[in-house]
Structure 1
Amino acid sequence: MAASQSPGVLGKHFLIGLRPTIELHPDDRRLLSTLRPAGVIVYRGNFAADVPYEVWHAKFAALVAEIREVIGRDHVLVCVDHEGGTVLRPPRPITPYSFARDWADRAQDVGRAMGRELASLGINVNFAPVVDIASNPANPVIGPRAFAGDADAVIAAARPFIAAMQSEGVLACPKHFPGHGDTSIDSHLGLPVVEADRAALAARELRPFGAVARDVHLIMTAHIMYPAIDPGVPATMSRVLVDDVLRRELGYTGAIVTDDIGMRAVSTMFDTPGTCTRVISSGTDLIMICSHWTNNDRAYGLAAELDAARAQGVLSEATLAASDARIDALLAAAPSHAPLLLDPGVFAAHARLARLHAARGAAGQTVSLEEA
């Protein structure tokens, strides 16, 4: 089967990052209509810049409507990274909260406010919160994005944040399983290796994921290697970490999505045939492709790989059926919001909440992520 003919039935196992355009790019339109992915990820470039709220909101609402029409499914995931700090996408008046560390004690209030604002844009999934534990001061990518440096404090903030945001109709996606807090390399730039055994992982990094496992429909994995647990295999494609640990030990039954496979930690691995199949076989359900802009053939090719693996029996029908059921449950849980303009008073109240914590700031922090 030619790559351009990859079937939409297996295309549902992908989330596609959009090009930075405020109207659907023709190449993205073809990709979405061919693969019919579970959904899309939007970025700052998908919002019109330097125009009034009413103008950019209308343009973004039109983009969301076009995405839904092109994918042609009743339920579509419209996802965003909106954590606070440097990881924010929509422009003002959407509230630019500071890093999660600064408002951990008001996580419920911030979660509710974020949820209301994102739902008003037609967004139904937020890749947040970060439930990593900020245990390594030298970590170049997590730091203040995490609520705290110990598991109990992370759990105490994460659970109310998740509950509040989801009460507004925006699904949470805790990340980065099995824990990115004790790394010294940014997985956007290389493959971090954590020298922790299974007992150490269970005692610290896994605790927040276990605490929220029954609260969420989606969890994101990290491009991190734990050689004492699964030598030579990043968590992204590790059956030991995904199926044995997250699903069986922690009892998580929902969908699992990779971090962007265009990140340098794993990007070249996906040039090797069979890698995409290995990810799905591990128990992961959704593959995130955000760095496809210069070569759409990669996305088509990965979907074609899954189709071939299915036809050849390498990817079992039982594995696909279980994964499809999890994706369908996720899609059914994600509301289809009609975008609406919020009253200025709503933004004023949210801005006051943000100012309560802005003074705490992240002074001296070097975490700077354009597309975290």
Structure 2
Amino acid sequence: MQINRLIFPGFWFDKNTWQQGEELARAGVGGFCLYGGTGAQIKEFCARVRRASPWEKILICADYEDGLGRWVKDSVRLAPNMALGAADSQELSFEKGFLTARAARALGVDWVFAPVADLADTPDNPIVNTRAFSAHPQAVIRLAGALMKGLTQGGALNCLKHFPGHGQTRVDSHLALPVLSRTPEELFQAELKPFAALLPLADGVMTGHLKVPALDAQHPASLSAAITTGLLKEKLGWKGCVLTDALLMRAIGDECHAAREALNAGAHILLAMNDPHKVSRFLHIKNSPAPALLRAAHAQLDALCARSNQATPVVPPTHAELEDFNRRTARAACVWNGAFRLRAGERVRAVVLGDDEQAGWAVLREKLTQSGIQLTDGPADKVLIISLANYKSFKGRIRLTPQDESRALQAVRQARQSALVCLGSPFAALPLKGAVNAVLQAFCPLSAFQQEAAALLLGHHAAQGKMPVCL
């Protein structure tokens, strides 16, 4: 029972049963990390597992980095962090955290695993990307710090991730182990700066599944005593809770052995494994952490539970509030460079690329059509190259396919004028940047951002955003 409290299983509403959740709660797990579900389902699940648990308090957690909408079917997704970086607004960052916390708390979720404090300084990084605020440490400190304050003000626990910095890697840790090839001096000048500055605001720190040979040539950061204890706790002085990234990720191999190594390295919480019962049995049979480590982990959980219990009741944000936040963020964030403008009556070719998640561009298409633009799939004097490519777990890449690039370049050569509209990652379509007359960066396909993209293409007003990354 004592060891089980350190286990926080993942719960997927589309594949797990509530009975499985209640069984794990009765076994004494310390909390759950939720994936999917509707608002009503989440609320009911939280109530059920709390009733089933022998602990006075368990912590319900979720990766609500961009509000609840990415995971909760009937909620609103909020603008990604890179858009906040382009807006360079601490006010909007605080508001994002505040709205997210209120929405999460209203469903019974205590702990939001945000913000991402990694740097967006590597175009080929397939998993950090638009989840990061900026390539610049000081910008990350300002904006992530504001978001953390918003989460706290809204009554949710926060979590810095992914220590010691996942930005300058080129591998998705869901698939394999990334390597961060930086010297200790470089790390302290870049990746570690946001973490070191933001620790006083943090409720927890999530270690990343990445190898940093300059710090530990043998173990990933999440399983490394040199990084978790030596660097984070001793050198940077972190006294709070340490949790692993999801143990089901392929970067670290066998999750049972990884769980044991993570605890011995100094982690307090084991997150989201494929088989929590198997991990529990493994840790109970000759693999339990030393009593001192177990006591330290329980003390951290006690402190977090006490802090969460102090949160005052909140009023959930309305749909209108969330959409208004996205509208104001889009207005402040979109970046528009180059000479290109659409006018009523023009025939314009649209080429859509990289829509892996079927996000679509229906709002942009509708706004342009309503303004008198005649959109076509065939040849035209002007062409819009619309990229929807973005990060996605287990995808392993961020760039457009060679086939998409070839199709786009052919369309550009056939047109008199061309513009690239990125409704996703600004890195994804980099090979096309030099071939077009103008580039519009919108960072995401949310409705408000598509509306703002249309307004900029039609010349209704000037763009306000500045690129937070180097292209």
Matched, 1:241 2:227: yes
Judge conservation of contact 1:195–1:226 (CA < 8 Å) in 2.
yes
Q: TM (normalized to structure 2)?
A: 0.67
Task: Tell me the SS of whatever aligns to 2:250.
Answer: coil
Residue equivalent to 2:417: none
Letter in 1 for 2:180: V
Q: In the TM superposition, what is the alpha-carbon distance from 1:87 to its structure 2 partner?
A: 7.6
Match of 2:290 in 1: 316
| Structure 2 residue corresponding to 1:270, chosen from 255, 264, 267 | 255
Is the CA contact 1:75–1:334 (under 8 Å) kept in the aligned structure 2?
Answer: no
Pairing of 1:152-167 with structure 2 (within 5 A):
152-167=138-153
CA distance in 2, matches of 1:23, 1:130: 27
Between the aligned partners of 1:222 and 1:284, the Cα distance in structure 2 is 12
Corresponding residue for residue 307 of structure 2: 333
Whether the 8 Å CA contact 1:169–1:335 is kept in 2: the answer is: no
Matched, 1:287 2:270: yes
Q: Name the CA shift for 1:86/1:119 in 2 (closer, same or farther; >3 Å).
A: closer
1:255 aligned residue: 241
Distance, in Å, in 1 between the alignment partners of 2:16 and 2:248 is 23
Q: Deviations over 1:91-133 (max 9, x none)?
A: 33x3311211112412011111111111111111111110001
Look up the SS of the partner of 2:167 in the other structure.
coil
For residue 368 of structure 1, what is the aligned residue in structure 2? 392
Answering whether residue 96 of structure 2 is matched by residue 96 of structure 1, we say no
Question: Is 1:27 the equivalent of 2:20?
Answer: yes
Aligned to 1:307: 284
Q: Equivalents in 1 of 2:294, 2:280: separation in Å? A: 13
Q: Does 1:64 align with 2:46?
A: yes
Match of 2:106 among 115, 120, 123: 120
Secondary structure at the residue paired with 2:262?
A: helix
Q: Rate the CA distance shift 1:166–1:174 in 2: closer, same or farther, 3 A.
A: same
Deviations 1:237-280 (A, max 9, x none): 100110011111111111111111111111x2335xx4422211
Is the partner of 1:172 in helix, strand or coil?
coil
Q: What secondary structure is seen at the aligned counterpart in 1 of 2:201?
A: coil
Match of 1:355 in 2: 327
Contact 1:85/1:145 (<8 A) preserved: no
Larger Rg belongs to = 2
Q: 1:147 deviation in Å? A: 0.6
Equivalent residue runs for 1:185-200 within 5 Å: 185-200=171-186
Report the CA distance between 1:323 and its aligned residue: 2.0
Q: Is the 8 A contact 1:39 1:78 kept in 2?
A: yes
In structure 1, the partner of 2:204 is: 218
Task: Please state whether the residue corresponding to 2:163 is helix, strand or coil.
Answer: coil
User: In structure 2, what residue type is equivalent to 1:308?
Assistant: I
Encode CA deviations 1:40-65: one digit per residue, 9 max, x unaligned.
Answer: 01111x22xxxxxxxxx444322110
Residue type of the alignment partner of 1:74: E
Gaps of 5+ in 2: 336-386, 397-471
Q: Normalising by structure 1, what TM-score?
A: 0.84
Q: Who is 2:432 aligned against?
A: none
Q: Which amino acid aligns with 1:10?
A: I
Greater CA drift, 81-90 or 98-107: 81-90
1:211–1:340 Cα change, 3 Å: closer
Q: SS of the residue aligned with 2:2?
A: helix
CA distance in 2, matches of 1:113, 1:12: 29
Correspondence for 2:169: 183
Contact 1:129 1:162 in 2 (8 A): yes
Conserved? CA contact 2:78–2:322, under 8 Å:
no
For the 8 Å contact 1:19–1:25, the answer to whether it is kept is no
Whether contact under 8 Å (2:69, 2:76) holds in the other structure is: no
- Equivalence for 1:53: none
Matched AA of 2:12 = R
8 Å Cα contact 2:160/2:204 also seen in 1: yes
In the aligned structure 2, how far is the partner of 1:181 from the partner of 1:209? 13
Measure, in 2, the Cα distance between the counterparts of 1:25 and 1:337: 27
Q: Which SS does the other structure have where 2:9 is aligned?
A: strand
Partners of 1:117 and 1:301 in 2: how far apart? 33
Q: 1:147 to 1:303 in 2, by over 3 A?
A: same
- Give the alignment of 1:8-157 within 5 angstroms: 8-21=1-14, 24-34=17-27, 36-44=28-36, 46-47=37-38, 57-84=39-66, 88-92=70-74, 94-104=75-85, 105=89, 106-157=92-143
* 1:175 alignment partner, SS class: strand
Deviation at 1:337, TM superposition (A): 7.8
Conserved in 1, the CA contact under 8 Å of 2:211 and 2:220?
yes
Count of residue correspondences: 339
AA aligned opposite 1:193? V
Structure having the higher strand fraction is: 2
Q: What CA distance in whole angstroms lies between the structure 1 residues aligned with 2:123 and 2:14?
A: 37
For 2:205, what is the secondary structure of its paired residue? strand
**Identical pairs, percent:** 26
Q: Distance in 1 between matches of 2:315 and 2:395?
A: 26
Which residues of structure 1 form unaligned runs of 5+?
1-7, 48-56, 293-297
Decide whether the 8 Å contact of 2:34 with 2:62 is kept in 1.
yes
Q: Is the 8 A contact 2:102 2:314 kept in 1?
A: no
Distance 2:103 2:267 in 1: 30
**1:196 touches 1:226 (CA, 8 Å); kept in 2?**
yes
